[in-house]
Amino acid sequence: MSSSPVSYPYSPGLEGVPAGISKISEIDSDRSSLQYRGYDVHDLAEHGSFEETAYLLIHEKLPNATELADFRSLLGAERQVPDAVYSAIAAMPKDAHPMDSIRTAFSVLAAFDPDYRAPSTDHEANLRKAVRIVAKAGTMVANGHRIRQGLDPIAPDPAHSTAENLLHLMTGSAPVAKTVQVMDASLTLYAEHGFNASTFANRVCVATLSDLYSGVVTGISTLRGPLHGGANEEAMRMILEIGEPENAQAWIDDALLHKKKIMGFGHREYKKSDSRAMYMSKVAKELGIESGHTKFGDIAEILETTMLERKNIHPNVDFPAAYAYYLLGIPIDLYTPIFVVARVAGYTAHAIEQLQNNRLIRPKAIYDGDANLTYVPLTERP
C-alpha cells in the first residue's frame, strides 16, 4: 500500500529554493548581472586579473598594489607539485578523461599540504590551503596533459601569472600577450557562480567538518557530470560540426526546425543574457582576428543573431569560451579541467565561508513509497 506524500513545498532540482546565505557572489537574473562580492564580473575581467579575482573571493576584498604583488609572489612560490602527484596521474589509463586526472591529483596532493591535518575550523590554515589549491590547479591540469601525451612535466615559472603558467606548461612555449589576456578573462569569468551544483556539493562536504581538499574533490566530481561541466566542450563540437560560416544558417535553421539542442545558449539562472558572455565574446573574436582565423567568430555571429531573433535566447559564457580555447590550441577534453583551474577559487571561498558559521546541511526528503507492510517470513514468500 502506497502512503500519501507529506505536503511540503517542493521544487524539482530545488530550483529557486534558497539553500543558504552567502556574501561571495550574486546573480541578478532580471538584470543579467553577476557580481563577485559586489563587483561586476565584467569589470573584473576587462580591467582586473584572475589573481585579483581569486584574492577578492578568498580574502573578501580587492587587494591594493602591495597585497596583489605579494599574492602573485605567493601563488608563484606555491605552483610546484610533488612528484607523487605526477606518478599517480601517470599510473592512470592513457584514455582516462582529464577530469579524472585532476580529481585524482587533488586527492593525492591533499596529504602533502603542511596544513592538511589542521582542524577544518582553523581559518588561517584554510586560507593557506586555499592559496595552495589555486596555485597548483593549473600546474596539475597542464602537466597532466603533458603526461598523457608521453611528455615530461615542466617546472612552472614562479614569475608567471596563472594564465601564463597554464598556457606555457600546456604548449611548452611562452604565450603571447593576447592569448594570456583571453585565458585570464576566461578564468575570471568562470571563477565563481553562486550555489551551482558543484559549489553546493563542495559546501555540503565541508559542512560535515571535512577538509578543503575533500570539498574541492567533491566539487570536481560533481562538475564532471555533463549536465554541469562540459557545456563548452559540446559547444565546440557543435561549431566544428557546422564547419564553415556558409553552413551556419542552414545548420541553425534545421536545428530549430527539428528542435535540436543548441549548445552554449540560454542559462537556468538568467532570464535574459549571461553577462559573462559579453566580454568573453569580445576577446574571443579579437583573438580570431589577430590569429587570422575568423571563421569561428563568423559562425558565432550567425548563430547568435538567429537565436536572438527567433527564440530571444542569448549565448552563455560557454559558447565564446569554446572557440576561444580552440583558437588557443587547447584540446576539447581539457575545457572542463580548465574550468576547474578557475572554479577552485570559488570552491575554496565557499568552503571557508561555510566553515565560518557552519551548520550541517541535512535537507528533508519527501517519502513516496510503501508503508505499514506486513513482514512475510522468507519461507512463505512467493
CB 81 within 8 A of CB 98: no
Of 209, 207, 264, 272, residue with least CA distance to 240: 264
Residue 282: CB atoms within 10 A of its CB come to 16
Q: Is 30 labeled as catalytic in the residue annotation? A: no
Amino acid 1: pLDDT: 44
**CA 359 – CA 209 distance, rounded (Å):** 9
Q: Is the dihedral of CA 21, 26, 32, 38 positive or negative?
A: positive
Domains 38-224+336-356 and 231-327 share a fold: no
**CA 170 – CA 369 distance, rounded (Å):** 52
Amino acid 8: pLDDT: 67
Selected catalytic residue, list 267, 274, 314, 350: 267
**Who contacts 165 (Cβ-Cβ below 8 Å, separation ≥6)?**
79, 138, 139, 142, 156, 157
Q: What are the angstrom distances between the C-alpha of 67 and each of 55, 70, 203?
A: 9, 5, 28
**CA 335 – CA 344 distance, rounded (Å):** 15
**Who contacts 198 (Cβ-Cβ below 8 Å, separation ≥6)?**
218, 219, 220, 222, 223, 228, 229, 343, 347
CB-hemisphere CA count at 13 Å for 266? 8
CB 59 within 8 A of CB 301: no
Amino acid 5: pLDDT: 53
Selected catalytic residue, list 211, 274, 318, 350: 318
**CA 156 – CA 136 distance, rounded (Å):** 10
Strands (E), the chain: 25-28, 33-36, 39-40
**Who contacts 362 (Cβ-Cβ below 8 Å, separation ≥6)?**
none
**CA 231 – CA 319 distance, rounded (Å):** 8
Helix intervals (H) in 111-258: 123-148, 162-171, 177-190, 197-206, 212-223, 231-242, 245-257
| Domains of the chain, residue spans | 38-224+336-356, 231-327
CATH superfamily of 38-224+336-356: Citrate Synthase, domain 1 (1.10.580.10)
What one-character-per-residue DSSP string does 143-168 give? HHHHHHTTPPP-PPPTTS-HHHHHHH
CB 146 within 8 A of CB 153: yes
**CA 33 – CA 202 distance, rounded (Å):** 24
Provide the residue-wise pLDDT of the chain in tens; the chain has 382 residues: 445 555 667 888 888 888 999 999 998 877 778 999 999 999 999 999 999 999 999 999 999 999 999 999 999 999 999 999 999 999 999 899 999 999 999 999 999 999 999 999 999 999 999 999 999 999 999 999 999 999 999 999 999 999 999 999 998 889 999 999 999 999 999 999 999 999 999 999 999 999 999 999 999 999 998 888 888 899 999 999 999 999 999 999 999 999 998 998 977 666 677 888 889 999 999 999 999 999 999 999 999 999 999 999 999 999 999 999 999 999 999 999 999 999 999 999 999 999 999 999 999 888 999 999 999 999 999 9
CATH entry 1.10.230.10 includes domain 231-327: yes
Return the C-alpha cell found at 159.
Answer: 614569475
**CA 243 – CA 326 distance, rounded (Å):** 13
Q: Is 267 labeled as catalytic in the residue annotation? A: yes
